Structure 1
Amino acid sequence: MSSILTNNGAMVALQTLKSVNKNLAATQNAISTGKDVATAKDNSAVWAISKVMESDVNGFNAIKDSLALGESTVAVARNASETVTDLLTQMKNKIVAAQEDNVDRGKINDDVTALRDQIASVVGAAQFNGLNLVDGSAGTASILSSLDRDSAGNVTSSSISVASQDLSTGGYASKGVLAGSDNATTDNDAAGFTMDKSGGSGDIVIDSSTDNFAVGDKVSITIGDKVASYTVQASDLDPSGTYDSAYTDAIVAVGLKNQIDALGITGVAIDYDSSAPGTLSFVTGTAAAGADADRDVTVSAQFTNAGSGGLGALSSIDVSTSAGAVAALGTIETLIDTAIDASAAFGSAQGRIETQKEFISNLTDSFKSGIGSLVDADMEETSARLQALQVQQQLATQSLSIANQAPQSILSLFR
């Protein structure tokens, strides 16, 4: 049946043309963007997965920067420890030469001292962005190495821990011990405090292995703008060979007091406690202290342990005598082993970081490929589809035109 009111053929042709145009628009959009899934309305599930993976890729890019920073830090530490190993080896050569009697041990000892100073300089300068892994101050460095996502979507971070190595030649930083007593605001104040080298609450740690003073230990006290210090000598130890605080501590106290007096500073009394080895007591600004009793006295103090630090034994090396040269030979071997162990530890850590950095780079590439396989358009297939849709569009347009002309054939029935 033909009707001039309802043209079913035109309606079918029109719907076909609309469908072809819609597919053609989607294909052209895929060609222009390069993606089959460009927005969430294209395929919400695939789009959501791709966005999660893209966020992980961005996170891994940040991790690569963290690993690069960590690698550089460890590389500096490794180079420093290897340099220290070389310098200790040079020092060993000097010490071996000092074993011979027919040599100038004094000049050899000067060379040994210069090498020791150079080692201290290398260790002090071996920092990257403020982090020094060889002077014993850093503890363990944590380097961000990965982001791990579980099946539930929870994300946790992973890190590579790099233990610092102590290649310092000794000494701790100064530490205020007066608490509320320094910078007193009233004249004639009496401020007393105790320095205890064994460590504890409010104390200064100088040597965790012993409470006794040792040769090379240094006690410094700053009063106003003047500094007095005393270094423990071998002659300060008890001649009997057994440490006696009543003997050595007294000598240290007197020696430091003499240095203070030599600076023209009055009003500082120093005492020791024979029952507490390695402990000195200070009193400042006492009523009978003379000139200093009429002004405020600000005091700071520190212990410097010549034997602290991983290479602290360097301070005891003295090849100026035959006995010293023999003792130094055994000491230097231990120190070289310490430096070699530090170099090996840093080398292992640097290798692990390099491996992780390469893995993260490859993982990032894999993620990018995975994202591409989900959302990128297959350009060969899309090109072929475009050609087919263009032909379909032309045919649908022609079909619609023919369907629209069909009612005109009814006119011939009325002629």
Structure 2
Amino acid sequence: MTSILTNARALTALRTLGAAGDGLDTANRRVSTGARIGSAADGAAYWAIATSLRGDNGSLAALTDAIGLDQTAVDTAALGLTRTVEQLKVVSRTLVAAQSEQADRGKLQLDIGIALGAIRSIAESSAVGGSNWLSVKSDAPGFSANQQLVMAFSRRDGSANLTRSTLDASQFILFDAKARDASPDWVESSSVAPAGTLAAITQGIATRASPTGAPYTVSAVVSAGHTHTNGLLDTGYLLNPTVAGFGFSINTLDITQPNTSRALIETYLRVVDATLQQVLDGAALLGSTSALLTAQRDFARQMTAINGAAIGTLTDADIEVESTRLKALQAQQMLGLRSLSIANSAPGTVLALFN
């Protein structure tokens, strides 16, 4: 049947051509962008999951940077403690040499002073971004002996969670520049409480430096409103029995003072050795923390790669398939145009009747 009002064949051909054109647009977009799911309209569920994973990857990238910054601070402090250990060994060897009756204590004191000056310089230089864990001022606003290190990022029950680990930096503070009393004495006493666990640590050093039968016992003064505990090297120690003028800190060691006996130098040596062991413990703690941060950073990078693969599975187009489909749709479009041309020629036969 041929009608001059409705050309059914042409309408069918037009619909087929339109469908081929829509498919061709989709295939062209997928081939050009490489994405099968580019918006919510292409697949709401897959698009939402992929978008969430992309957000997680952004957070993981920021986490990697934050861990890197924290690790820099940890490694800097660890390096400072390692160098401090070397200088404390120099002080220890010098004190051993000073036990000899023939030793020139004046020259040995020069070696001690140089080593202690080097430690002070190392501590002051162990700073990253204005943060220094070895030389502090514990009464400064915002000071905390505990350092919060970023460890991990996760998403649970739709909420983002950031995991931190607390590092007790008071275990290896070398110097504390907190306010001292108006009338300084040999240990520069302070009314500011010791930072973190330093009070217990210095008491432990004093105990280890006071073995049974030793001629002198050592103690660190820590009491309400009055303390000699500062950093590991500027904490003041008292001797029992009391020796006039011989309260001391490692930072103020002086073997040239009058009445400095071999027993007193041996006491200095024990305090230096006990402090050296504490510094070694601090360096070991920082080394373990650095290894943990490295593992966490590597894990974050691996999670980023896994999320990227998941995003690709959900949204990436198969270029080989899409290219094949593109060729087929181009052929369909050409056939549709030919069919439409044939269908549109049918009314011409009606016109021929009037010739």
- TM-score tier, shorter chain, comes to 0.7 to 0.9
Alignment of 1:314 with 2:319, yes or no, is: no
Gaps of 5+ in 1: 178-196, 211-240, 244-276, 280-302
Q: Helix, strand or coil: the match of 1:41?
A: helix
Q: In the alignment, what sits opposite 2:322?
A: 382
Q: Helix, strand or coil: the match of 1:36?
A: coil
Q: In the alignment, what sits opposite 1:369?
A: 309
Alignment of 1:401 with 2:323, yes or no, is: no
Computing the radius of gyration from Cα coordinates, the structure with the larger value is: 1
Gaps of 5+ in 2: 139-143, 183-187, 201-216, 236-248
The equivalent position to 1:156 in structure 2, one of 139, 161, 173, is: 161
What letter matches 1:153 in structure 2?
G
Q: Give yes or no for contact 2:63–2:150 (8 Å, CA) kept in 1.
A: yes
Number of equivalences: 304
Quote the Cα distance in structure 2 between the aligned partners of 1:324 and 1:20: 99
Percent identity over paired residues: 28
Change (3 A) 1:333 1:100: same
The Cα of 1:16 is off from its aligned counterpart by: 0.6
Change (3 A) 1:32 1:361: same
Change (3 A) 1:408 1:278: closer
The Cα of 1:409 is off from its aligned counterpart by: 4.2
The Cα of 1:198 is off from its aligned counterpart by: 9.2
The Cα of 1:129 is off from its aligned counterpart by: 1.0
The Cα of 1:87 is off from its aligned counterpart by: 0.8
What letter matches 1:101 in structure 2?
E
The Cα of 1:395 is off from its aligned counterpart by: 0.9
Change (3 A) 1:198 1:122: closer
Q: In the alignment, what sits opposite 2:129?
A: 129
Quote the Cα distance in structure 1 between the aligned partners of 2:92 and 2:273: 8
Instruction: Report the TM-score when normalising by structure 2.
Output: 0.76
Alignment of 1:346 with 2:286, yes or no, is: yes
The equivalent position to 1:174 in structure 2, one of 167, 175, 179, is: 179
The Cα of 1:30 is off from its aligned counterpart by: 1.6
Q: In the alignment, what sits opposite 1:329?
A: 269
What letter matches 2:335 in structure 1?
L
Q: Give yes or no for contact 1:172–1:206 (8 Å, CA) kept in 2.
A: no
Over the aligned positions, Cα root-mean-square deviation in angstroms equals 3.2
Quote the Cα distance in structure 2 between the aligned partners of 1:4 and 1:154: 65
Quote the Cα distance in structure 2 between the aligned partners of 1:370 and 1:82: 44
Q: Give yes or no for contact 2:181–2:189 (8 Å, CA) kept in 1.
A: no
Change (3 A) 1:46 1:331: same
The Cα of 1:310 is off from its aligned counterpart by: 2.1
Instruction: Report the TM-score when normalising by structure 1.
Output: 0.65
Quote the Cα distance in structure 1 between the aligned partners of 2:112 and 2:180: 31
| Farther off after superposition, 354-363 or 158-167 | 158-167
What letter matches 1:77 in structure 2?
A
Quote the Cα distance in structure 2 between the aligned partners of 1:120 and 1:168: 12
Q: In the alignment, what sits opposite 2:11?
A: 11
Q: Give yes or no for contact 1:80–1:122 (8 Å, CA) kept in 2.
A: yes
Q: In the alignment, what sits opposite 2:117?
A: 117
Describe how 1:13-412 pairs up with structure 2 within 5 A. 13-135=13-135, 137=138, 138-150=144-156, 152-168=157-173, 172-174=177-179, 203-205=191-193, 305=228, 308-311=230-233, 312=235, 313-315=249-251, 317-320=253-256, 321=260, 322-409=262-349
Q: In the alignment, what sits opposite 1:189?
A: none
Change (3 A) 1:365 1:170: closer
